[in-house]
Structure 1
Amino acid sequence: MWRREVGTVVRRAAALPEQAVAPFAIVAGLHVPRVPTEWAPHAHPRHELVWVRGGTLTSRVEDRVFTVSEGYGLWMPAGVVHGGRATAGAEFHDAFFAPDRTPAAFAFEEPRAITMTPLLESLLAHLSRTDLGAEARARAESVVFDVLQPSERQFALHLPGDPRIDAIAEALLDDPADDRSLEEWARSLGISDRTVTRAFRQATGLSFAQWRQVLRVHRALTLLSAGLDVTTVSETLGYAQPSSFIAAFRRVMGTTPGAFFGRGDGTSGDVRNPVSRVQNS
C-alpha cells in the first residue's frame, strides 16, 4: 500500500475475542494503537466490521485499496484475505458477526464501505459490554441489522494488475507526488503512451490521469485525518497550489476537504449530492 511510516509496528491478526465462541451474533471491541500499526494479510471465520475515530484505516484486498476515515466503516466478509494499516493513536473499533446468524442481506461477497451513524456506533459499543443479558443482547443485535447500511461512497482504489503498468501503480503508491507525465512513464518502461492509456482504461476503468487523481485523494484522506492542513497536504501530494488540490478532491469526492471532514475551515464551499466519484468496488 502506501509507503510505510517510520515506527510502524507489523502485527499478526489477533485471535477473535473470547466471547466470539459464545452464541452471540455480534462481538465488538476497541483498540488504540499507540504507533502506526500494520496487520499482515489474514482472514477471519466471521464477518468483520472495522471503523476508526481520530485517524484512518487502510486495507488492501487483492487488487483494491480501501481507505476508511471517520464516519465510515469497512465490512470484510468472512474468509476474505486482507491486510490493513491504522494511523497512530486512532481508536480502532471492530465487530465480528457470526455468518450463520447474519441476515442474507449482508452476505456480501466483496468488502463494502458502511455508514457509521451515531446510533450504529452506540449500539456496537453497547454490545462490547460483557455483562449484557441474553434478551438485552438479542434486542440490540436486531436493531444493529436494522440500521447497518452500505455507504453511497465506496472507497475502493482498483490497482491495475497488469504487468505492463504495475510499476507505475506501485511507484505512485509509494510516492503519490510523483508528477511524471504519461509520456515520461511510457518512455521509462519502453512502451508507447497509447499502450499505457489503453492498459489503465482496461484494468481500472479510468484514464491514467484520473487514476492518479483518485489515488492522491485516497492518500489525502489519511493525511487530513491526521490533522494536516490543506496547504500541507496539497504540497505533499505534488499540487502547485491548494486550490488545485481542493478542485481535484471535489471532482473525486463530490465535495471539498473542509466539508467532508466538517471542519468549516474556509475550504468547505457548498456540499453537493454525496455520490462518490471514487470507483465503486
Structure 2
Amino acid sequence: MSRYSRDVSAFGAWPRDPGTEVRRASAVPAGADAPFAIIAESQVPNVPTEWEPHSHPLHELVWVRGGTLVSRVADRVFTVSEGQGLWMPAGVVHGGRLTAGVRFHDAFFAPDRTPVAFERPTAIAMTPLLESLLNHLSRTDLAAEARARAESVVFDQLQPSESQFALQLPGDARINVIAEALLRDPADGRSLEEWARALDISDRTITRAFRQCTGLSFTQWRQTLRVHRALALMSEGCDVRGVAEELGYAQPSTFIAAFRRAVGTTPGAFFDSAQDSAQSVRSAVLGVSNS
C-alpha cells in the first residue's frame, strides 16, 4: 500500500500523516491589540500538525523552513516550500498541514495599517531580506521607531512570487473520483482510457471536464499533483530516485523532466537554491540583530 493511503478529513482526499495533531487556530494572534502593523511569530511542532479551517480578521503571511506546508483554500491546494510564502487575505477561510519538525513562521498584518493589498491567496517571494526583517519583528524588545522602520521596508519587499504553485481541485462529479484516487495515491498510473472504462464515460468527457474545471489536461493535472507531493518528499530528505519510485515514474529522468516543466528548474537546483536562501537568511538575521 502506498504511504499516501492515509486518513483524510477537511482536505477531502488529501492524505494526512499518521499521528497528526489537529488544532483549532486562534482567530486573533497574541499581541493583536498592540499598536503594530505587523505581528510575527514562529513555532516548531514536534508532531505532524493540521489546523482546522479558519479565518483571521488580519492578513496572514506564512512560510516554512526545513519542510513544506500544505494549505487548502476552497477548491485549491497550495504547497508552500522553502523560498516562498503564502499570503492569506483577511477573512479568507483556509486550513493547513505541516510535517513534524518543520519551523513554521507566520506574520499578521493589520489591514488598516498595511499599504499592500493582495485580494486573493498569493505566493510571495520570501527573499532573505524580507524573511530576516520579519524574524526581526518577532522580537518583543524593539523600540517603536526601530519597529516602524522595519515595517516600512517589509511593505516594500512584499512581492508576488514568479511561481504561483497551486493545484485546482476539479469539483465535478464526473471526475471527482479520479482526483480523489490520485490524491490518495499519486503513483496511480491508470491511463485516461482505463479511467473512462472504469467510469463508463468517454475519455473525451474526462479530458473536457479536467480542462473546464482546472485548466489542465488529465495528464498535466496528475503531473502537477505529483510535483506537489515531490516537494514534500524531498524536503523530508528523500532523494530523487526514491521520489521517482514513490510517485510512479519509471525512471528518475522522467520525474526530473516533469518537475522542470512544472517548476522551471530541476529538483536539485530548486533545493540548492532554497539552501542558499536559508544561509543568506541566517547571515541577514545576524546582521539585523547586530544593527
- The TM-score, its normalising length taken from structure 1, stands at 0.91
CA distance in 2, matches of 1:116, 1:85: 20
Q: Residue 36 of structure 1 aligns with which residue? A: 48
Q: In the alignment, is residue 180 of structure 1 matched against residue 182 of structure 2? A: no
Q: Residue 202 of structure 1 aligns with which residue? A: 212
Shift of residue 92, structure 1, vs aligned partner: 0.2
Q: Residue 117 of structure 1 aligns with which residue? A: 127
Report Cα offsets for 1:108-161 as digits up to 9, x if no partner. Answer: 221000111111111111111111121111111001001111100101111111
CA distance in 2, matches of 1:162, 1:112: 24
1:221-260 matches, within 5 Å, as 221-260=231-270
Q: In the alignment, is residue 97 of structure 1 matched against residue 109 of structure 2? A: yes
CA distance in 1, matches of 2:49, 2:238: 19
Q: In the alignment, is residue 75 of structure 1 matched against residue 92 of structure 2? A: no
Shift of residue 251, structure 1, vs aligned partner: 1.1
Shift of residue 15, structure 1, vs aligned partner: 4.9
Q: Residue 153 of structure 2 aligns with which residue? A: 143
CA distance 1:263–1:126, shift in 2 (3 Å):
closer
What is the root-mean-square deviation of aligned Cα atoms in Å? Answer: 1.3
Q: Residue 12 of structure 1 aligns with which residue? A: 24
Shift of residue 14, structure 1, vs aligned partner: 3.2
Q: 2:165 aligns with which of 155, 158, 173?
A: 155
- Deviating above 4 A after TM superposition, structure 1's stretches of 4 or more consecutive aligned residues are none
Report Cα offsets for 1:232-276 as digits up to 9, x if no partner. Answer: 100000001111101111111111000011179xxxxxxxxxxxx
CA distance in 1, matches of 2:267, 2:186: 18
Q: Which runs of 5+ in 1 are unaligned?
A: 265-281
Q: Which runs of 5+ in 2 are unaligned?
A: 1-10, 275-291
Report Cα offsets for 1:41-73 as digits up to 9, x if no partner. Answer: 000110000000001000010110000101110
CA distance in 2, matches of 1:13, 1:136: 30
CA distance in 2, matches of 1:133, 1:107: 26
CA distance in 2, matches of 1:142, 1:17: 21
Amino acid of the structure 2 residue aligned with 1:11: R
Asked whether the equivalents of residues 123 and 161 of structure 2 are also in contact (C-alpha less than 8 Å), the reply is: yes
CA distance in 1, matches of 2:167, 2:189: 19
Amino acid of the structure 1 residue aligned with 2:154: V
CA distance in 2, matches of 1:181, 1:164: 16
Q: In the alignment, is residue 21 of structure 1 matched against residue 33 of structure 2? A: yes
CA distance in 2, matches of 1:254, 1:107: 27
Q: 2:143 aligns with which of 114, 122, 133?
A: 133
How many correspondences in the alignment?
Answer: 262
Shift of residue 165, structure 1, vs aligned partner: 0.6
CA distance in 2, matches of 1:18, 1:186: 52
Q: Secondary structure at the match of 2:31?
A: helix
Amino acid of the structure 2 residue aligned with 1:88: A
CA distance in 2, matches of 1:64, 1:46: 21
CA distance in 1, matches of 2:203, 2:222: 15
Amino acid of the structure 2 residue aligned with 1:48: E
Q: In the alignment, is residue 54 of structure 1 matched against residue 57 of structure 2? A: no
